[in-house]
Amino acid sequence: EVQLVESGGGLARPGRSLILSCEASGFKFENYAMHWVRQAPGKGLEWVAGISWGSGNIAYGDSVKGRFTISRDNTRNSLYLHMNRLRTEDTALYYCAKPRTATPGVLDFWGQGVLVTVSS
Amino acid sequence: DFQMTQSPSSVSASVGDRVTITCRASQDITSSLAWYQKTPGKAPKLLVYGASILQSGVPSRFTGSGFGTYFTLTISGLQPEDFASYYCQQTHIFPYTFGQGTKLEIK
């Protein structure tokens, strides 16, 4: 059974940092690209970042480029999101998502999400 | 970056109705378009990918179509569990942008 479990969320002050983790199980993690997607309160889904299976191809949404870093450790079946210089508008529920095998952008399984609140 | 524009932003309908949501891409994305359903408190659910391919387990009342820059998601015979928000996403190239969403409400 595929499982994605996010952790590391919480309250952070503007300008500070936070690291999110996503532990994967039930599939061969090292063979899949992975993604972070967020949803701010009352807003829509926003694609945040994606990373290829071997970390050779990485991309970010415009609103987090230069502040967030996505990474992975295939030996630990884990995905990470290092969030620096946090802003109040980064407050959101952050989802880790796995794509379908042959279509790296199509997200067929999602974690339950981890809440990040940025407030002074 | 590719911009995705959905319409309408919200729509009211009754159980049994048929509803169509549209999604336009700012550039040609061929058939690289996915649709998701989002209900409060739940993770998003993949409905359609490749513009028209139904994800396994999704009821056949959901139909996706389109190519290039214009796409639609049609729900025929609305069921109570279908009242949710729907998002399109271009899966053609990084960044994989979402549309702003369409909220389907009960009339």
Question: What is the DSSP track for chain A?
Answer: --EEEEE--EEE-TT--EEEEEEEESS-GGGS-EEEEEE-TTS-EEEEEEE-TTSS-EEE-TTTTTTEEEEEETTTTEEEEEE-S--GGG-EEEEEEEE-SS-TT-EEEE---EEEEE--
* B102 contact A CB<8A: no
User: d(Cα A9, Cα A19) in Å, to the nearest integer?
Assistant: 8
With a cut of 90, say whether residue A58 has pLDDT above it: yes
Taking only the tens place, the pLDDT of each residue in B24-58 is 999 999 999 999 999 999 999 999 999 999 999 99
Cβ B85–A106 below 8 Å, yes or no? no
Average pLDDT over chain B, rounded to whole?
Answer: 97
User: Inter-chain contact B91–A61, Cβ cutoff 8 Å?
Assistant: no
Q: Which of A106, A110, A112 sits opposite B49 (nearest CB)?
A: A106
Interface of B with A in 17-36 (CB under 8 A): 32, 34, 36
b/e sequence A79-106, b meaning 16+ C-beta within 10 Å = bbbebeebeeebbbbbbbbbbbeebbbb
Contact assignment for B43 to A44 by CB distance below 8 Å = no
pLDDT band at A101 (very low <50, low <70, confident <90, very high): confident
Nearest to B73 by CA among B41, B39, B104, B106: B104
Please report residues of A whose CB lies closer than 8 A to that of B94.
Answer: 50, 57, 59, 105
pLDDT at A103: 86
- The verdict on a CB contact (< 8 Å) between B100 and A113 is no
Query: Are B94 and A100 inside 8 Å of each other by CB?
Result: no
Q: What is the mean pLDDT of residues B53-80?
A: 97
Q: Which of A2, A101, A106 is most worth mutating to test chain B (most B CB atoms within 10 A of its CB)?
A: A106
